Amino acid sequence: MGMPKVAVGLAIPPKPPLSAFKQVIWASRFFRFDCLMLWDHLQDIFPKSLWEKSFTWTAGENDSPHEFYDQQTLLGYLGPRAGRVAVGVAVTEAIRRHPVVIAQSMVTLSHLTKRAPILGIGAGERENIEPYGLSFANPVSRLDEALKVIRLCLDKSGPLNFTGTYFNLENAIFDLKPPKGRKPRVWVGALGPRMLELTGKYGDGWYPLGLLTADQYGERLETIRAVAKTAGRNADLITPSLQPYIVVAPTHEEALDMLKTPTVKFFGLLAPAEIWRQQGFKHPFGDDFRGNIDFLPEEHTREFLQSAIEQVPPEMANAGALVGTPKEIADQLRPYVAAGMRHVVPQAMSAAISRKHALYSLRALSQIRSELN
């Protein structure tokens, strides 16, 4: 018996120009990607101090790294044009938006698409929260309540009632329903124990960032399934996905050379201090740095960031990433498939290096899909 089939999707930042998304939709349909997912950011991970074409080609396309379209509005534009490609967000949180509003937006989107949209949701990141005067305290507890509210909106009829610390509903009306077969799918971006529990209780899918070994992936998936069964849910209906970082090129040697570029080394800088410690290194951002969740792009000077990038050792430039040709990356993904993964949305770090590499990454994702299936 061969390996199970694996769906492959695309996740991109929703940045100007709008015309680029016509090409992205065409490519998604042409390469038969399963989904097209948009980030939900107010700031990029790239800081303004490094925003120049020598660092990333996209600096020549936008005046600032922090130009982001609202993902909900843009998904409304993309949905009717996506055909059989599912569209969704990867991922949002319930700090900037009330969970009822999130549910309303996603159900509205289900009326504009041919497939059920994907609501990727997690606990959030500091860069999109704290600079805007919002509290990032107790994000997992807040997400717990938000998921309960979203499930009420999607699964129940009649006035909704909920009493919590962060959200309260009192005979709240939510009568908008999705078309048959297109109920939004809730995919939880989970890594830690409490987040895995929330995935098992409320998720239709699991959407972790790829800082997991295949063994760790399998162990966490078993935890999710056990929680789901205890909650009386069908664990087999939870889609096990993964968003791994990849560095992909036509040859192995070219992929290895990319690990030496400041752009890819910067991504290694965003790996948690714990990952650095496991490899015997000290993180320039300190021992308590938790990775993307803690990074504030405009908090550091250009000089500090350049110095930090120079400190990224070769072993950390590809921290948590899959590196190589499309075939080699497919081979690296197979242990995850054996561990239960059935859906993957690779995030090509190499696409930030040049326009050529960005275009190649689309073809590479298609080749990875073919290799896996």
pLDDT in tens, 58-105: 999 999 999 999 999 999 999 999 999 999 999 999 999 999 999 999
Average pLDDT over residues 135-143: 97
The pLDDT > 70 percentage for the chain reads 99
Q: Label residue 315 by pLDDT band (50, 70, 90).
A: confident
Summarised one tens digit per residue, pLDDT across range 332-354 is: 999 999 999 999 999 999 999 99
Q: Is the pLDDT of residue 2 over 80?
A: no
Per-residue pLDDT at 4: 87
> With helix as H, strand as E and coil as C, how does the chain read?
CCCCCCEECEEECCCCCCHHHHHHHHHHHHCCCCEEEECCCCCCCCCHHHCCCCCCHHHHCCCCCCCCCCHHHHHHHHHHHCCCCEEEEEEECCCCCCHHHHHHHHHHHHCCCCCCCEEEECCCCHHHCHHHCCCCCCHHHHHHHHHHHHHHHHHCCCCEEEECCCCEEEEECCCCCCCCCCCCEEEECCCCHHHHHHHHHHCCEECCECCCCHHHHHHHHHHHHHHHHHCCCCHHHCEECCECEEEECCCHHHHHHHCCCHHHHHHHHCCCHHHHHHCCCCCCCCCCCCCHHHCCCCCCCHHHHHHHHHCCCHHHHCCCEEEECHHHHHHHHHHHHHCCCCEECCEEHHHHCCHHHHHHHHHHHHHHHHHHC
pLDDT of 305 over the 60 cut = yes
Which superfamily is assigned to 7-254+320-372 in CATH?
Luciferase-like domain (3.20.20.30)
Percent of the chain with pLDDT over 90: 95
Please provide the average confidence, as pLDDT, over all residues in the chain. 96
pLDDT at 188: 98
